[in-house]
Structure 1
Amino acid sequence: MSNFQEQINILVEVQGVELEIHQADRLVNALSNEAAALDQAVAEREAMVSSEKAALDGLRKAYRDLESEAKVNAEMVVKSNEKLRAVKTNKEYQSILKEIDEIRKKNSGIEDRMLEQLETIESAEASVKSKEAELAGFVQSYREKKEMFAAKEKRERQSVEALNEKKARISANADPQIFTVLDDVKKKVRGLAVVPVQQAICMGCHMNIPAQLFNELQRFDELRFCPHCHRIIYWKEQG
């Protein structure tokens, strides 16, 4: 095997390792995105439960306000009844009775609202309890998945590290100028930068190359490029 053929083989091997690195990096990013999506899902569910609990606290406060108002009114009725015992005219007596009646009617309305509020509170409490249970289950599942994603991501990062070391070992035997050319080609083409030619067809763009160029490829004496896609090409014997 010629030295130049060895250099081509190094380029092909490095390209294969780079593809593995790219795939591992994509998996790492995908795992990271999935973990971030889980974080967001938990945050949204926690915010929803927090919002419902805040609404429940508001209902309870409103009930306490009604309760306080009813208590004040009840005390007013007691005081008005005490005033009845001290009145001296029928007019004052009737006025106080009317006042007591109005307070009692008002309290009756408040008590009705309190009953409605209690029903609303009970419904809200049941909803919050259910949402908290769902959240607890989701958080448990979330933690398990996060641990799984973290373990997978760690393995993939270790794989990337090992592949980079492998690439460095392979590249150490290459002519630096060849890698300069390879980097230039990578900037110009999408996908593989080094491709074989089989039966006079470039495996990068699947176009026929000139017969003379196909014959020259088999010499392995210099870098050659596809006249159509401009990738680095090399002759690969049919298996």
Structure 2
Amino acid sequence: MYQKQIEQLILLQAVDDEIIVLEAEIQQAPQELSDLEGRVASLKERQTQIDERLEVLRAQQKKLEFEIEEDAGKIKKSKNKLMMVGNTKEYHAMMREMDSLERVNRMREEEKIAIMEEIGRQEEGLKDLDKEAEGIREEYAAKKATLDERLDKARKRVDSLDKKRKKAGKVVPPPILGRYEFIRARISHPVIVPVALGVCSGCNIMIPPQIYNDLQKGKQIIACPNCQRLIYWQEHAPSGAPSVQDEEE
């Protein structure tokens, strides 16, 4: 009976380990879609920022083009009037005015070129964001298409494991099963561990000699006095104990 209880406790632990993994997957799967949605939203925000930046740059470019064209017209008129100037003073005044307009227009042309280059960079960045967003949308669509199938498969597996868990629990006396559940709720796995050469493999601490002697007798389920995990002598480990898959067959 002792050997059967150890066997079922080990099986119970294997079932619980798999249930933990599956439940984590069930919780994580929708989160994967949520994370992708968050990435798409972040990209859209960055695209909006670039669009706003482009709007400002294009407005600046349009303003400069207007001012360049307007002053170019003034320069042209001044050149036409220059031939009709009656005295040197007026001639030099008009020349200074044209030089000033031409200098300002050269500065505007340089600023316009810089703005056009920046517009090009921003538009290229926008293309990269569009490409990245498209990739994420494709990944989202692919994951969403398989999500329901993945979740359904995982839930069915959990249901199947729950049945195996109940079956294994029937073999273990209620006090021992209650102790197992108590430990499982309070410490990380594993709950039941082997002892080899007097050392608990759960906490790696030597157990007292008397407890080790009792453990070797194989009469009752014993807990490690240090970590409180259920322990069994390694020599009592069930050879060929049924796995979770074996139990299903």
Q: Determine if the TM-score, normalized by the shorter chain, exceeds 0.5.
A: yes
Q: CA RMSD in A?
A: 4.5
Aligned partners of 2:58 and 2:94: how far apart in 1? Answer: 34
1:48 and 1:151, CA in 2 relative to 1: closer, same or farther beyond 3 A?
farther
CA–CA distance in structure 2, aligned partners of residues 140 and 237 of structure 1:
50
- 1:139 maps to 137
**Rounded Cα–Cα distance in structure 1 between residues aligned with 2:118 and 2:107:** 17
* 1:176-205 Cα distance to aligned partner (Å, 9 max, x none): 433332233346654322345689876655
Q: Which residue of 2 aligns with 1:24?
A: 22
C-alpha separation in 2, matches of 1:124 and 1:200: 69
Map 1:48-197 → 2, pairs under 5 A:
48-73=46-71, 94=91, 95=93, 98-99=96-97, 102-145=100-143, 147-148=145-146, 151-168=149-166, 170-171=168-169, 175-186=173-184, 190-195=188-193
Structure 1: runs of 5+ lacking an equivalent: none
- Residue 214 to residue 133, structure 1, CA distance change in 2 (3 Å): closer
Equivalent-residue separation in structure 2 for 1:47 and 1:124 (angstroms): 14
- The letter for the 1-side match of 2:216 is F
Q: Which amino acid aligns with 1:214?
A: Q
CA distance in structure 2 between the partners assigned to 1:20 and 1:93 by the alignment: 96
* Structure with higher RCO (Cα < 8 A, 6+ apart): 2
**Is 1:210 the equivalent of 2:212?**
yes
**TM-score under structure 2 length normalisation:** 0.62
Q: Distance in 2 between matches of 1:17 and 1:131?
A: 45
Give the number of equivalent residue pairs: 231
CA–CA separation in structure 2 for the residues paired with 1:21 and 1:155: 13
Q: How many percent identity over aligned positions?
A: 24
- Give the structure 1 partner of residue 243 of structure 2: none
Is the Cα–Cα contact under 8 Å of residues 196 and 202 in structure 1 kept in the other structure?
yes
Distance 1:81 1:28 in 2: 80
CA distance in 1, matches of 2:144, 2:195: 46
Where does structure 2 lack aligned partners over 5 or more consecutive residues?
A: 240-249
Aligned partner of 1:211: which letter?
Answer: N
